[in-house]
Amino acid sequence: MIQSTMSPYYAYVAFALLCTSYACYYNYCSRRRNDLVRLTSLDDIEHLLSPPVSLTAQLQSRALANARLKPAFGIDSTFVNGDLAAHGAFTRFAINLISPRNLPWSRLADIAKGTVTVQLCDRGSIPFDTLVRRLVMYVILVGLLEEYVDESAIAVDDIDLVTGGINELWALSKTSTYRPDLLEEVNMRLRCWLPNMTNPMEIIIPTYETMWRVVAVATALGHDNTQAIPLFSALLQQPTTERYRQCTDDSFSADAFMQEVLRLYPPTRRISRVVPVTTSSILSRFCPRLFTRYITFAADVEALQCDSLWANSRREFDPSRHHLQRSTEQQRKTLLAFGTGKLTCVAKNWAPQAAAIMVAAILDQVGAEKDFALEPGKAIGGREGWEGWFVQRRL
Ligand code: HEM
């Protein structure tokens, strides 16, 4: 008779080792297979961004997805931090900044007009993206953050360094290359402008980074649009929400124009979450952690907003499609430039109108029959890609 020489103790250890190795191998393989899952259908995206889990779990899942921004920008705000109290404090602060008590629309319009005038005076030509970046940064500093800013410390060269630096740091964060030297250069200026803020970058990122690109794209699309120009002109004279939303039967509103910009050129093209997924098997019941892998899901807002639901013309720029009588409820549900669910952008209603007023301030001085012309480049840009676009004084 053959007798086993292995005691039950060693058998358990061997079994446990086998399971662990299998789990590690399984996790390794699945991570490689599933680095990122891109979601493009409305149902999947709504489920990702509005899941039936606690707010804390949602914050943690966003923080994991945005982890690269933490070292890239030296921030610890709610976008990279899963803490519930930090979320409450940050969103309250942001909501307060955009309240009409803090910054009335008429004041925003005055600051925007004044900034464009100063940036264009005595100038023959200026790169278009430089003008837009200076305008948006200035409006945020002197308008939104008026209570905190030391206006006398703002020099135009520093604005260019900060806005260019933020662009570069963002691009580098996608490659996991960090530039602490550049971050320090940028932070040095921000601390001079906003001396009483602990970490000014934390509010500059959500306010500036998306806004300047919306203003740039909307101006590029609006400068030769004969239906849009009078709308923006009227909005600058009377920068109210009523005027912003007002539309005539044969035209569209400034709001529809901005909604179409955000539909075709969403500044946040993908909204990501890292979600734990546990495989159901007998082994995973004993040790679920070993069989749980963390998968990054990305809601592809850009793809969804160009869904076939928007008909064959879905890739064309047509603000009139947002007319209430022309769009369906299902189409409107796909407009997710500001996200959806509990973590929806707090500036969802404020940002498009604020951007439109800044566009109006540029078009007040740039365009047909104005002192300045917008010379277009090859294509509409994003964070990059504005080569060849210039604002030029007419001779
Ligand atoms: C056109 C401009 C803007 C766009 C496209 C935009 C987009 C977004 C998106 C997509 C989210 C959701 C992120 C997620 O679900 O993970 C978000 C969140 C947020 N945004 Fe914006 N945003 C814009 C402007 C602003 C401005 C001007 C502010 C500041 C007042 C702001 C403050 C915030 C805050 C505080 C959150 C976090 C909300 C929360 O966690 O509950 N955003 N934004």
pLDDT above 70: residue 194: yes
Mean pLDDT, rounded, for 300-310: 97
Mean pLDDT, rounded, for 336-356: 98
Q: What percent of the chain has pLDDT over 70?
A: 90
The answer to whether 322 and 260 have CB atoms below 8 angstroms apart is: yes
Mean pLDDT, rounded, for 359-374: 97
pLDDT above 80: residue 285: no
pLDDT above 80: residue 9: no
pLDDT above 80: residue 233: yes
Question: Within 13 A of 247's CA, how many CA atoms are on the CB side?
Answer: 19
Q: What is the pLDDT of residue 2?
A: 45
Q: 297-334 burial, b if ≥16 CB within 10 A, otherwise e?
A: bbbbbbbbbbeeebeeebeebbbbbbeeeebeeebeeb
344 CA from centroid of ligand 1 (Å): 7
Mean pLDDT, rounded, for 212-223: 98
Q: Which residue's C-alpha comes closest to atom 28 of ligand 1?
A: 207
Q: What is the pLDDT of residue 244?
A: 98
Confidence of residue 162 (pLDDT cuts 50, 70, 90): very high
What are the structural domains of the chain? 37-393 (1.10.630.10)
Q: What is the pLDDT of residue 20?
A: 57
Sequence-distant (6+) residues with CB within 8 A of 120 are: 126, 131, 365, 366, 371, 372, 391, 393
pTM of the entire structure? Answer: 0.92
What's the mean pLDDT when you consider all of the chain?
A: 92
User: What 8-state DSSP symbol labels residue 229?
Assistant: H
What is the tens place of the pLDDT at every residue in 83-111? 999 999 999 999 999 999 999 999 999 99
Q: Ligand 1 pocket test: pick from 345, 349, 358 the residue with the most ligand atoms within 8 Å of its Cβ.
A: 345
Which residues line ligand 1 at a C-beta cut-off of 6 Å?
A: 49, 62, 78, 87, 90-91, 94, 97-98, 206-207, 210-211, 214, 267-268, 271, 337-339, 343, 345-347, 351, 355
Q: Which residue's C-alpha comes closest to atom 39 of ligand 1?
A: 343
